[in-house]
Amino acid sequence: MMMIERLVKKRRYITEEELLELQALCQVLPGPTSTQTVTAIGLKIGGQPLAYLSLLIWSLPAMILMTLAAIGVHMLEQKQISLSFTRFVGPMAVAFLMHGGYAIARKVIHNIQGWSFLIISTILAYLFPSPYMTPLLIVSGGVAASYINFSKHEKMERGPLRITWRPLIFWISVLLVAAGIGTVTKSLPVRLFENFYRNGSLVFGGGQVLIPILYNEFVEFKHYLTDQEFLSGMALTQVVPGPVFSVATYVGSLSMQDYGITGQIIGGFVATAGIFLPGTFFIFFAYPIWDQLKKYRGIRASLDGIHATSCGLTIAAAVSMFEPMAISWQPVLTVVGTLLLLFFTRIPSYVLILAGLLLGLAFA
């Protein structure tokens, strides 16, 4: 709605039909949908220089705020100040994730097949909480759906497809170079950049899909963050302006907490660059050929599986996060109460999080 008000009606940079078309393109590409839409508008109006500038301006406020939040959390822990005042924020963050997964599922799943994909991916992601399961499930879901649904989609007449491969070549080159340098040097900033770049290349949809991926990799698999640290950052993304993908900045910054404030700033920066750049390269590749690309039945047929699988990853992460909380009545009541407020009221998420922080301070 904000884009329609500011960019369509007020500035008239783009028509509403063009905006919806760009959003449709971004929804079928890996990466943060809202950020890609802003980048695509910049690309349409002023080419790649304006696209990069739009990306920078869009992501910078959240990057700064989430880096400062990560530094603040680390300083509190260094001074042995308990994070118990966030006791309500963690369960609330899990409730936000549950609600987000449910809301996305209702939008993208329309039949038994989709729900089956969701259930299977949820079970597998829960039983095998590895970062390698994420790309495997997403790709498998897309391939399976494409195979099953291919004949159901109408064949559309296609013209010649003129592809500029440079953005894709650049995308894979950056990934391979970062992975190679990280393996040889064992440099944590380089490895973090590669980790976030890889994840940014595989996420379809909004931040609710990214959160379980980061949780699996950086909390359960690599143990760079504790549950409480991650959940606090996840909740803060509901308060700060900007895309939910800014949780990556927080995770990257806390992953470098042993290297001091400078290290945390570097960690936040490389995480932000890594998570947002792949989606930008995909926009540069797909935007010029979108009109032809959406006419391929295989691509259209794969989307149901990709979206359903992504929802399954979100639900599996929510279950994993909720499991250790289930032994105490307070977090359980907090999750249930937050879900009820999300489903039956229109209270903004940042108001709920601030209320949770105040409640935590009152009972600290």
Asked if pLDDT for residue 166 goes beyond 70, the answer is: yes
Task: Count Cβ neighbours within 10 Å for each residue of 153-185 and write b for 16 or more, e otherwise.
Answer: eeeeeeeeeeeeeebeeebeebbeebbeebeee
Return the pLDDT at 238.
Answer: 72
126 and 319 in contact (C-beta within 8 Å)?
yes
- 14 or 257, which is more confident? 257
Q: Residue 152's pLDDT band (boundaries 50, 70, 90)?
A: confident
Cβ-defined contacts of 264-269 (< 8 Å, 24+): 264/67, 264/70, 264/71, 264/74, 265/67, 265/71, 266/189, 267/70, 267/188, 267/189, 267/192, 268/63, 268/66, 268/67, 268/70, 269/63, 269/67
Return the pLDDT at 91.
Answer: 84
Instruction: Find the helix or strand (DSSP H, E) in which 306 lies.
Output: helix 297-322
357 and 89 in contact (C-beta within 8 Å)?
yes
What is the tens place of the pLDDT at every residue in 184-223? 999 999 999 999 999 888 876 566 678 878 888 899 889 9
Return the pLDDT at 232.
Answer: 82
Share of the chain above pLDDT 70, in %: 93
Helix 227-236 crosses helix 89-108 at what angle (to 10 degrees)?
A: 60
Tell me which amino acid residue 264 is: Q
User: Within 10 A of 361 (CB to CB), how many other CB atoms are there?
Assistant: 12
Q: What is the dihedral of CA 204, 216, 226, 96, to 10 degrees?
A: 40
- 205 or 157, which is more confident? 157
Instruction: Find the helix or strand (DSSP H, E) in which 32 lies.
Output: strand 31-32
User: Within 10 A of 69 (CB to CB), how many other CB atoms are there?
Assistant: 22
Q: How far apart are CA 94 and CA 82, in angstroms?
A: 20
37 and 23 in contact (C-beta within 8 Å)?
yes
Asked if pLDDT for residue 225 goes beyond 70, the answer is: yes
Q: Which of 17-26, 123-132, 321-330 has the lowest mean pLDDT?
A: 17-26
- Residue 341's SS3 state is helix
Return the pLDDT at 337.
Answer: 93
Q: Residue 20's pLDDT band (boundaries 50, 70, 90)?
A: low
Asked if pLDDT for residue 1 goes beyond 60, the answer is: no
Average pLDDT in the 232-253 region? 83
Asked if pLDDT for residue 347 goes beyond 80, the answer is: yes
Q: Residue 263's pLDDT band (boundaries 50, 70, 90)?
A: very high
Average pLDDT in the 76-86 region? 75
Q: What is the mean pLDDT of the chain?
A: 85
352 and 338 in contact (C-beta within 8 Å)?
yes
Return the pLDDT at 242.
Answer: 72
What is the tens place of the pLDDT at every residue in 266-294? 999 999 999 999 999 999 998 888 767 76
Could you give the count of Cα atoms lying within 13 Å of 349 in the half-sphere of its Cβ? 20
Return the pLDDT at 159.
Answer: 66
Q: How far apart are CA 66 and CA 84, in angstroms?
A: 20
Q: How far apart are CA 267 and CA 248, in angstroms?
A: 10
